[in-house]
Amino acid sequence: MHMKAIIQAAGLGTRLYPITKDTPKPLVKIGSKPILEHQIEFLKINNIIEITIVVSYLKDKIIEYFQDGSNWGVSIQYHYEQTPIGTAGSLKYLEDDFQETFLVLYCDYFLDFNLKKMRDFHQRNPLQPVSTILAQPVEYPAEVDHLQLSTNFEIENFITRPLPKGIQIKNCSSTGIYICDNQIFKYIKNDQYQSFEKDVFPSALNHNKKLFAYYTEEYIQDIGTHSRLKKIEHQYTSGKYKKYNAKLFPKHVTIPS
């Protein structure tokens, strides 16, 4: 299946300040390479070579570093987000360029998972979901949003923070990695602040569209805070990320009343 990718790289990276005072978050390094370079190499390995990067904060530094992508064997286009309009709002401007199934990922994830399996899961699903969301168990489930799933991994609901008190839910956190059918654009409004998790995906569900979770225990970690960045840097440089074991994480989370 031919697939293009959109990388969301427009954020300010405020939680990583002062690192991000002069360095945009996509250029924060893991080992000797920026996190975004790791992602582009990951996409190239998976035969995704047409990439659009959504940029805003310190965009010139990102464009100067990656240029047209030819040094990595890919083709990179840039979309400049002048005004922040959420994780999904800017994608509405890209609708004409993404008429087929495409991949969305956020620039702050360090990835080591089998993308081919996720693509096959989406492509071969007889219910033809409008999107498949990569989901995983996390070490601290009370601190993140979760997906409520049926037995066949169909998404029934989005459980967002603050998590409802007095309930037990499956430790199933949505990551910022989605495979989307072009029909998803119907649920992104023009020129409005839009979040995938809080606006677009729930709207698709309300219109009886199918959403599925690709649930995996592979290595997908975000560098969003100083402590996470330090941890991932250590896991990468030591090679421990290759032995990542999410099976050790809690299977469920109970929210105190």
Q: Give me the residue spans of the domains in the chain.
A: 4-254
Nearest to 236, CA basis, from 247, 223, 225:
223
Distance between CA atoms of residues 37 and 49, nearest Å:
13
Distance between CA atoms of residues 172 and 25, nearest Å:
26
Rounded to 5°, the CA angle 91-127-177 comes to 35
Residues in CB range of 221: below 8 A, 6 or more apart: 109, 110, 228, 231, 232, 235, 241
- The encoded tokens of residue 25 equal 């978050």
Where do we find the tokens 């509405």?
A: 92
- The encoded tokens of residue 161 equal 């923070």
The pLDDT value recorded for residue 183 is: 95
- The encoded tokens of residue 164 equal 């409802």
The pLDDT value recorded for residue 8 is: 95
The pLDDT value recorded for residue 252 is: 85
- The encoded tokens of residue 101 equal 């199934």
Distance between CA atoms of residues 154 and 143, nearest Å:
23
The pLDDT value recorded for residue 1 is: 61
The pLDDT value recorded for residue 52 is: 97
Asked if 118 and 214 count as a contact pair (C-beta separation under 8 A), the reply is yes
Where do we find the tokens 């990276």?
A: 13
Where do we find the tokens 């699903």?
A: 125
Nearest to 68, CA basis, from 59, 80, 77, 55:
77
Collapsed DSSP state (helix, strand, coil) of residue 27: helix
CATH architecture for the domain at 4-254: Alpha-Beta Complex (3.90)
The pLDDT value recorded for residue 7 is: 97
pTM for the full predicted model = 0.93
Residue type, 14: T
The pLDDT value recorded for residue 160 is: 82
Nearest to 203, CA basis, from 174, 183, 179:
183
Residues of the chain with pLDDT under 70: 1, 245, 257
